[in-house]
């Protein structure tokens, strides 16, 4: 079928919305009409840094309605409201033990540019357009493997839900699936973008008593306080480590580092109390930080968490329930854009004016 999709033809090029051909669904795949899709920093990485082959259709926070199912699909049917998440093989030991975010084929399936049968579903003439995260949601329709398609409640505005497939599940899952803070403990969240703010809302759900928000933008810190942070520090104005150590009585029990900025990663470790644990979520450039004293003299821990260590088909419906109950108001992070304004949405995300852009298709 002919669809409209935002094509990235070469590294660093602006998106161009064009007619392309979509084939499939093959066996175990579904065809989804996209209603809306979130914009995530990783899409900008895909556009600018050549992590996946070009030409490509990016986008990995799609939400839409199932139009057609391929052979052998048993868990979905036409008309279902769905959110697409990351691709995973479903067969390796990590997938089978409930950790598909560290699937042994994660990089190949999400960044390799092809579906799991090594072919593409998007084409222009004789040219294959590569796939991103097994979905390529910057288009009016997509084909995805059944496994990374999550059925969601029809009672919620579907246009809001795409970011649950990546950015929001990353922040919330890091707290609720990975760190699992004990009731009444303290946590510091570095970076108040979509990931950090989702971590803050999740820390409130988990019953953290002190939730420290750190950012360099006052408007984001204000939003963090409205969403559950108990303290907010602007890293441009204060010594964050000193302030957090003082206010928490010697450092926090936990931290989530979502900036990927090496000096901030260092702060997140230093502002922990002995035995404290920091989850690294932000993607960093090459980074050298001396962790020996924190780890070996104070027993601190540092772990990397991908996609919130989530099982999307289990975790995303739970986040939707919390949202319906008013306990996970992630709609506060969102600004909607028309699909044609995709380049503007990326610009607003990069300069910090919009926390989570969502494109309406
Ligand atoms: C990504 C972050 C970098 C590692 C792979 C998963 N998540 C969302 O964009």
pLDDT score of 287: 80
Pocket test for ligand 1, best of 306, 310, 312, 349 (most atoms within 8 A of CB): 306
Which residues are CB-neighbours of 126 under 8 A, at least 6 positions away?
A: none
pLDDT score of 355: 97
**Atom of ligand 1 lying closest to residue 106 CA:** 5
CA–centroid distance, 246 to ligand 1, in Å, is 33
Phi, psi of 167 (to 5 degrees): -60, -45
CA–centroid distance, 292 to ligand 1, in Å, is 27
Cis peptide before 235 (omega within 30 of 0): no
What is the Cα–Cα distance from 20 to 3, expressed in whole angstroms?
5
CA–centroid distance, 247 to ligand 1, in Å, is 32
What is the Cα–Cα distance from 323 to 321, expressed in whole angstroms?
5
**Cα within 13 Å of Cα(198), Cβ side:** 32
Provide the pairing of β-strand 62-69 with 29-38: antiparallel
C-beta separation of 213 from 225 below 8 A = yes
CA–centroid distance, 245 to ligand 1, in Å, is 30
Alpha-helix residue ranges (DSSP H) falling in 258-324: 262-270, 292-296, 312-324
CATH homologous superfamily for the domain 171-306: NAD(P)-binding Rossmann-like Domain (3.40.50.720)
What is the Cα–Cα distance from 249 to 257, expressed in whole angstroms?
20
Place of tokens 């988990």: 206
pLDDT score of 45: 95
Tokens of 127: 């040219």
The dihedral built from the CA positions of residue 142, 93, 167 and 260, taken in this order, carries a sign that is negative
Domain ranges of the chain: 2-165+329-360, 171-306
Determine how many CB atoms are found less than 10 A away from the CB of residue 18: 15
Tokens of 310: 């989530």
Residues of the chain with pLDDT under 50: none
ipTM over 0.85: yes
What is the Cα–Cα distance from 37 to 35, expressed in whole angstroms?
7
C-beta separation of 83 from 161 below 8 A = yes
Domain range 2-165+329-360, CATH class: alpha beta
**Residue among 170, 168, 172 nearest 180 (CA):** 172
- 3-state DSSP call for residue 114? coil
């Amino acid at each position: 079928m002919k669809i409209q999709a935002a094509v990235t033809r070469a590294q660093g090029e602006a998106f161009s919305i064009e007619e392309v051909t979509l084939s499939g669904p093959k066996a175990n795949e579904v065809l989804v009409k996209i209603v809306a899709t979130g914009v995530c920093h990783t899409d900008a990485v895909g556009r600018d840094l050549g992590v996946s082959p070009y030409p490509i259709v990016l986008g990995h926070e799609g939400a839409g309605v199932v139009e057609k199912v391929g052979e052998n699909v048993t868990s979905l049917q036409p008309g279902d409201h769905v959110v697409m998440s990351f691709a995973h093989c479903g067969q390796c030991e990590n997938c089978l033990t409930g950790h598909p975010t560290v699937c042994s084929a994660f990089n190949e399936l999400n960044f390799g540019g092809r579906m799991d049968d090594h072919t593409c579903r998007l084409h222009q003439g004789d040219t294959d357009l590569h796939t991103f995260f097994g979905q390529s949601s910057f288009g009016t329709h997509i084909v995805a493997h059944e496994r990374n398609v999550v059925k969601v409640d029809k009672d919620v505005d579907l246009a809001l839900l795409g970011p649950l497939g990546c950015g929001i599940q990353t922040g919330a899952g890091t707290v609720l699936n990975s760190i699992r803070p004990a009731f009444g403990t303290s946590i510091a969240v570095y970076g108040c973008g979509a990931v950090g703010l989702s971590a803050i809302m999740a820390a409130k759900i988990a019953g953290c008593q002190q939730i420290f928000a750190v950012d360099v933008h006052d408007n984001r810190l204000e939003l963090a306080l409205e969403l559950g942070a108990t303290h907010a520090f602007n890293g441009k104005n204060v010594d964050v480590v000193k302030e957090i150590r003082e206010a928490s009585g010697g450092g926090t029990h936990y931290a989530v580092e979502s900036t990927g900025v090496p000096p901030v990663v260092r702060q997140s470790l230093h502002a922990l109390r002995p035995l404290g644990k920091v989850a690294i979520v932000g993607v960093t450039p090459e980074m050298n930080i001396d962790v020996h004293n924190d780890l070996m003299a104070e027993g601190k821990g540092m772990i990397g968490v991908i996609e919130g260590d989530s099982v999307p088909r289990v975790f995303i419906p739970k986040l939707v329930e919390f949202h319906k109950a008013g306990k996970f108001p992630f709609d506060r992070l969102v600004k909607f854009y028309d699909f044609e304004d995709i380049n503007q949405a990326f610009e607003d995300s990069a300069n910090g004016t919009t926390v989570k852009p969502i494109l309406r298709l």
